[in-house]
Structure 1
Amino acid sequence: MSGEERRHPAAFPLDDRAIYDAYVAGRQSAALTVGVRVGLFDKLDQTPLDVQSIATEFDFSLRGARSLLVALEAMGVVNCKEDLYALSPETAAYAVHGQPGSLVSLIELEMDHFLSPAALLDALKKDDSTAYGDADPWEEHERDPEAAARFTAAMHSVSERPAAGFAEVAPLGDVERLLDVGGGSGALCLASARAHPDLTCTVWDLQVVCDLAKKYADEAGLSKQVQALAGDMWNEAFPTGYDAVLLSQIMHDWSHEQGSVLLDKAFACLPSGGRVLIHEKLVDEEGGPLANALVNLDMLVWTKGQQYTAGELEALLIAAGFADVQCEPSAGYWSVVSARKP
């Protein structure tokens, strides 16, 4: 019997599946995160296995292995043929360690910072970041280099594929020097440098993050094009000498008022004709897509910000003095909003 043929009791004529599906959706994140953390997907990327072999390999109970695999198969994460479980093409591309664009570092962040209903309720009442308790996340990263490395790896993970899209569609053809404010690992700088061999990029971030960015550039063989410069975007003026400023996943960390301050600083540091580039997961005027709307809840727990619409960013850019505002999709849920200083 198909889903469309399912009957509804006379006393309950409305279908309950939309609400139930929303309730149970969190189990998908849990199952995916466990698969990444224990190395299940890494193992299945090497060879398909049956349920008993998986239970033995990962010290699962047989019932536990079956339950996890049934869920993962229904999710489309794995498939089963002749009792052997293998990865879907998407899982092999994005849930296996070491693959370019892999999301594993982002997914693994769920183990320590899962957005439980209790955590969400706490954040809703506090109206402040709660990811590290009462500590400011950025100050915590300065105090704890390991936490900074985990977070930076997660952001690199979620940025690597959209960074390639950004490098293809962003108006970088006439840009010679790019300043990546709060650039983290430098994922967007690395992609942009690959696409534009004459471009030089600078990741401007906290010292603890700059140390990490230099390693990413060295590993990519792009240290001549991508450098890192320590600084504080709130307590310092933006460095000058650049003809484009990039704010990738920065605006959504802060309130509209704080975002205006950052755009004012970008305007001040740029020469006439210079560009500001904003890379974000935008929500549309109707509040979708769902994946981007849900990031608002992550922002509530991690930051002081929210996801923007293209119109909201355009208004802030114009208020800061920028002109010729353009918005282009880059990859997946991401978009580039660009503007020029007259």
Structure 2
Amino acid sequence: MVLYPVMRKFLDKRVVLASASPRRQEILSHAGLRFTVVPSKFKENLSKASFPTPYAYAMETAKQKALEVARRMHQKDLRAPDIVIGADTIVALEGLILEKPVDKTDAYSMLSRLSGKEHSVFTGVAIVQCSSQGGGLDLDVSEFYEETRVRFSQLSEELLWEYIHSGEPLDKAGGYGYGTQALGSVLVEAIHGDFLNVRGFPLNRFCKKLAELYHPPRPEDRPREKQDSIPAVDTFDRLGDSEGAGPGQGGARGDRCRPRAPGREHAKDADCKPSVESVPPTAVLELIDGYKVSKALFTACKMKLLDLLRDEGPLSALDVARKIDATAGPTGRLLDVCVAFGLLDKTERGYSNTPLASLYLLSDGEHSLHSLALHNDNHTWHLYNHLDSIVREGANPHQRALQSTADSPFQESFYQSREKLQFMRAMHGLIKVVARQVATAFDLSGFTSACDLGGSTGALAYELARQYPGLKVTVFDLPEVIEDAEYFQPHGPPTGQVSFVPGHFFRDTLPEADLYIVCRILHDWPDDKVHQLLSRISRSCKPGGGLLLVEMLLDEDKREARSAVVQSLNMAVLFQGRERSLSEYRSLLQAHGFTDVRAVSTGSIADAVLATRA
């Protein structure tokens, strides 16, 4: 009943638990929380090696579970729940993560390791506050973890197998259950911390987090000594819908997930003088070292290490060095960096690719970003040496670094150079990654013809044709692009749905279509060019026709959607362009005669915006 006062404030809110765990449901129900259970469909296949700590892995898994449910519910009825709770519990022994055993043999292996030892139970919890306004979805993520230390008795073979044959270990992290009715309790010699955390949900810490989120204490109210108990009930009573009390006050944001930025959690303690103990330098050092990680990735791609390990791995560092004619020591260190960041696995047999690398970094993969890495290494990397000049002068660096002219956009320069195919492969990989999500973000079955302006290799056009058999798609791009588009045609017999027409979308007449598509184009151009292109599309688009934009959406404050914020800076470096928020796109489109502007987050590298010609 501890949570009951705050639950009164949630009676008119949709609270969802993104978990099918009966133990978590029981814990929260007994606490007085009213909620709906919507099990997450997130595939728990994150690379454990890419996380610095076990609890970081648990928190990320919990967050992804909750985000998947929030986005799925929003796409289903265009109304997200108010709060989605995600959780993930793992057992860690000496840094090794033990999750649910796959069978009895696996359960025996886990429990044997735990016998007579102390281990940690970590539960990561994500609280996602949702607001859906104007067709967009705003997501504010708060996350935490709880650790409980558990010591097992020395377990006999007889006890181990008797417990395993009971069937209880097979659906529990680490292979054992704990609670008043759990048989696994007889294995436990001592427990230090929240016992409900071992059962799957740290209720005490959850209560504190709710109080922190919905009613942060004033400085004068903060206790002078550390408090381990649940906050007093009256701290919950002032939770309500008053200004500043809930998420989504700023309007639609096009599904922007807003995790707490490193260091920002200390901002509320501004009355306390920061110290290296209270504000560790980890986040700053990671930013300083970030370029080194990128360069390591670029080098691994340039040397085709991932292709080699796909074909011949696992291989030792010495074997890899011999096969690429390199030095063993530095090669091993490069491989170890790739292990640390989740690209490679390392066992006694040697190094091998993780699913992440196999999917995205093989040079010939269907969804390969290998060429994108090489393009960034060869052509984007050095342009950031001019960032201070851009900030000071607002000048396009390509006029100096690439001897480009104002009439020769960066993309056209590459399309007319010997690097054209590499650039096309880079763009092809980017669009392939997000094509299916974009094609299915909205129901486009009402359109019979579409024109993809600047559609390059046709990656999105072919996916639209697959999803909508009655849709004919024209790819409209520069002649030098069209001449090489055949290299990127998908396998199988052509359907006749996709055609390629050469032209310049600023100069030539646009092909007629019911639906115009502009995918990762507008962010390349300054505002005057964006207005010029939208004006041309508006004149060609008939009333009732559609315009589909595919871009990364900024949040309205332009500070939380990190990938989009960085990409917006990148556009300034490359093209004098920028990313925009949903409200900015809505204003742009309405100024050119488009209405009913809606946005859907794809959960990938770009979002989708659909508008209708008035």
TM-score normalised by length of structure 1: 0.91
Tell me the residue number matched to 2:348.
82
Does the aligned pair in 2 maintain the 1:295–1:307 contact within 8 Å?
A: yes
Write the letter of the residue equivalent to 2:521.
I
Does the aligned pair in 1 maintain the 2:361–2:368 contact within 8 Å?
A: yes
Tell me the residue number matched to 2:435.
163
Does the aligned pair in 2 maintain the 1:243–1:275 contact within 8 Å?
A: yes
Check 1:72–1:215 CA distance in 2 against 1; reply closer, same or farther (3 A cut): closer
Does the aligned pair in 2 maintain the 1:179–1:246 contact within 8 Å?
A: yes
**What secondary structure does 1:99 align onto?**
coil
1:311-322 matches, within 5 Å, as 311-322=583-594
Write the letter of the residue equivalent to 1:296.
S
Does the aligned pair in 2 maintain the 1:120–1:297 contact within 8 Å?
A: no
Tell me the residue number matched to 2:396.
128
Shift of 1:95: 0.7
* In structure 2, C-alpha distance between the alignment counterparts of 1:175 and 1:300, rounded to whole Å: 35
Tell me the residue number matched to 2:117.
none
Aligned residues: CA RMSD = 2.3
Write the letter of the residue equivalent to 1:128.
N
Shift of 1:279: 0.4
Check 1:119–1:257 CA distance in 2 against 1; reply closer, same or farther (3 A cut): same
Tell me the residue number matched to 1:174.
446
Q: Indicate yes or no: 2:366 matched with 1:100.
A: yes
- More helix by proportion, 1 or 2? 1
Check 1:322–1:108 CA distance in 2 against 1; reply closer, same or farther (3 A cut): same
Write the letter of the residue equivalent to 2:545.
G
Shift of 1:83: 4.8
Tell me the residue number matched to 1:292.
564
Shift of 1:286: 3.4
* In structure 1, C-alpha distance between the alignment counterparts of 2:380 and 2:314, rounded to whole Å: 29
Cα displacement string for residues 99-119 of structure 1 (whole angstroms, at most 9, x for unaligned residues):
211111111112311424414
Tell me the residue number matched to 1:7.
none
Q: Indicate yes or no: 2:323 matched with 1:57.
A: yes
Does the aligned pair in 1 maintain the 2:317–2:350 contact within 8 Å?
A: yes
Check 1:331–1:220 CA distance in 2 against 1; reply closer, same or farther (3 A cut): farther
Does the aligned pair in 1 maintain the 2:465–2:472 contact within 8 Å?
A: yes
Write the letter of the residue equivalent to 2:450.
L
Tell me the residue number matched to 1:44.
309
Tell me the residue number matched to 1:109.
375
Which residue of 264, 281, 286 corresponds with 2:552? 281
Write the letter of the residue equivalent to 1:267.
S
Larger radius of gyration: 2
* In structure 1, C-alpha distance between the alignment counterparts of 2:461 and 2:602, rounded to whole Å: 15
Q: Indicate yes or no: 2:310 matched with 1:25.
A: no
Of 273-282 and 196-205, more deviation after overlay is shown by 196-205
TM-score normalised by length of structure 2: 0.52
Write the letter of the residue equivalent to 2:607.
S
Check 1:263–1:159 CA distance in 2 against 1; reply closer, same or farther (3 A cut): same
Tell me the residue number matched to 2:333.
67
Shift of 1:88: 1.2
Check 1:60–1:215 CA distance in 2 against 1; reply closer, same or farther (3 A cut): closer
Does the aligned pair in 1 maintain the 2:314–2:349 contact within 8 Å?
A: no
* In structure 2, C-alpha distance between the alignment counterparts of 1:185 and 1:170, rounded to whole Å: 22
Q: Indicate yes or no: 2:474 matched with 1:202.
A: yes
Of 314-323 and 104-113, more deviation after overlay is shown by 104-113
Which structure would you say has the larger RCO, counting Cα contacts within 8 Å and 6 or more residues apart?
1
Does the aligned pair in 1 maintain the 2:450–2:514 contact within 8 Å?
A: yes
* In structure 2, C-alpha distance between the alignment counterparts of 1:328 and 1:334, rounded to whole Å: 10
* In structure 1, C-alpha distance between the alignment counterparts of 2:495 and 2:387, rounded to whole Å: 40
Write the letter of the residue equivalent to 2:460.
L
Shift of 1:162: 0.3
Q: Percent identity?
A: 24
Unpaired stretches in structure 2, ≥5 consecutive residues = 1-51, 56-273
- What is the count of residue pairs matched by the alignment? 335
* In structure 2, C-alpha distance between the alignment counterparts of 1:218 and 1:44, rounded to whole Å: 26
* In structure 1, C-alpha distance between the alignment counterparts of 2:397 and 2:547, rounded to whole Å: 27
Does the aligned pair in 2 maintain the 1:203–1:213 contact within 8 Å?
A: no
**What secondary structure does 2:398 align onto?**
coil
Does the aligned pair in 2 maintain the 1:129–1:300 contact within 8 Å?
A: no
Shift of 1:251: 0.9
Does the aligned pair in 1 maintain the 2:386–2:397 contact within 8 Å?
A: no
Check 1:312–1:120 CA distance in 2 against 1; reply closer, same or farther (3 A cut): same
Does the aligned pair in 1 maintain the 2:434–2:606 contact within 8 Å?
A: yes
* In structure 2, C-alpha distance between the alignment counterparts of 1:267 and 1:108, rounded to whole Å: 37
* In structure 2, C-alpha distance between the alignment counterparts of 1:33 and 1:140, rounded to whole Å: 23
Does the aligned pair in 2 maintain the 1:115–1:298 contact within 8 Å?
A: no
Shift of 1:67: 1.3
Tell me the residue number matched to 2:385.
118
Cα displacement string for residues 267-315 of structure 1 (whole angstroms, at most 9, x for unaligned residues):
1111111000000111212323222211123212321211111111111
Does the aligned pair in 2 maintain the 1:217–1:223 contact within 8 Å?
A: no
Which residue of 121, 140, 155 corresponds with 2:413? 140
Tell me the residue number matched to 2:421.
149
Write the letter of the residue equivalent to 2:555.
D
Does the aligned pair in 2 maintain the 1:78–1:86 contact within 8 Å?
A: yes
Cα displacement string for residues 72-99 of structure 1 (whole angstroms, at most 9, x for unaligned residues):
1111111111151111111111111222
Of 217-226 and 157-166, more deviation after overlay is shown by 217-226
Check 1:221–1:36 CA distance in 2 against 1; reply closer, same or farther (3 A cut): farther
Does the aligned pair in 2 maintain the 1:282–1:333 contact within 8 Å?
A: no
